[in-house]
Structure 1
Amino acid sequence: MTSTPRDVMMREAEVFEQFLALTERRLPRDGRGAFFLGSSVGGAYAGNPSPPFTEHTPTAPISAYGEAKLRMEAALVSSVARTGRRAFIARVTNLYGPGQDMAKGQGLISAIVGGYVTGRPISVYVSLDTLRDYIYVDDCGKVISAAMLRVRQEHPGTVVTKIVGSMRALSIGALLGEIARLRRRPAALILGQGDARGQSLDLRVRSTVWTDLDALVSTTLPEGLGIIYQAQMHAHMVNGR
């Protein structure tokens, strides 16, 4: 999360760097193999005032979370240059889908849907005008899978960085309105509760890299919301939570 303490995020980056160092020592440097790294649009661009962001937009992290993600990206680029392997870095927008760990306080869509299932009010701690790009988890997986197949065909030492998202921005207010339309009643909200550090008001994106893969993002928001609702309703009936 963007509010995660700096020492925790830097330890995560250090572990990743140690992993890369281990692979360089243990694996042959014959150009075979490809790495995948999941990074973050919010981490990379939150401090840049000029959306929509593309892969060519200067990065501007405003949190330790963003700094750590970019540190990991840089470490992977350096490792690939030394070993002649290949890598795909996905700067993912807001991922949503069933099965998120609600105890971590992540996943706005899952939290809102959970409010409908349990009847508990939902805390929203950023402006309702906040713009985010939401991508369904299965669609994200399809893009990454296709990209990994493609990057293996690139020249040794290639690193491809792509923004992975739906390329459609939606305000939190509009998201709440859509869920209310589908469920036929508004959500119970508590506004302004929580830690909004590291958050940007506008995270619109437009990928310019391997744009044909964006066609793999096909799940509509109503479809995704319906899947999450059914999954949470089932879990609630089984577990009573």
Structure 2
Amino acid sequence: MNSIQTKLDRPIIFRTVDKTVYDSTLTSGSLWLRSSHYYRNIEDQTRADKSEGINGTQCSFPLHFKPPSAQALSLEGNGTIGTEIIPHYIISMHGTSIADKVRQEFGGFTMGVRCLADLSAEILFQVSQQLPVTSYRFGQVAYQRTALSMSHNLNSAALKLDGNPSIAVKSINTDVLRKDPVEPFILQDEWRIAIFTQGYLNNDPNEPLKINVDTKHFYEYIKA
């Protein structure tokens, strides 16, 4: 049986994939980063997430707006109001809380990550060789909806209210490490690395960003 080989005082996290990806990562350090657009659109229902890359909230609690010099507007229901996060690529991992059923759905081959901070730094460097990078984040994903705010700044508005001046309803504190609390994601204790770039590779958000990192970032753990 393989044993935990993480650095001391670092989170014990894993990455689960299919056999082909598992072998290529452990032998050559191959990683494919994907955009939020890709994950929203793929047909694989295990990973497809229509809210990926969007911070928003449901209006289960009624909202009544009365902007100056404009008609009143009321919102209530299960639909989502939110804001799309600026372009970024992500790679997902998971902690120890993942159910075996979910792990099997993600491919069944699980490798360990020795140090999330070290892996994030190298991914940042490798991505910067292909695209201009503006920033990066890594850490545990919080499954919670975000709050809304009203603003005269119409940039990234989820909803524009008439009036003079116009008022926008928008998400506040948008964060790539926050996701809607939906299954199977809330069952897997997700961790991720996010790299913010100036646009997408070849202007195609569905094209994978392929990099290679040092294989020493990973260790074998469970094979199917």
Q: Does TM, scored on the shorter chain, surpass 0.5?
A: no
TM-score (norm 2): 0.27
Greater per-residue helix proportion = 1
Judging by fraction of residues, say which structure has more strand.
Answer: 2
Greater relative CO, 1 or 2 (CA 8 Å, sep 6+):
2
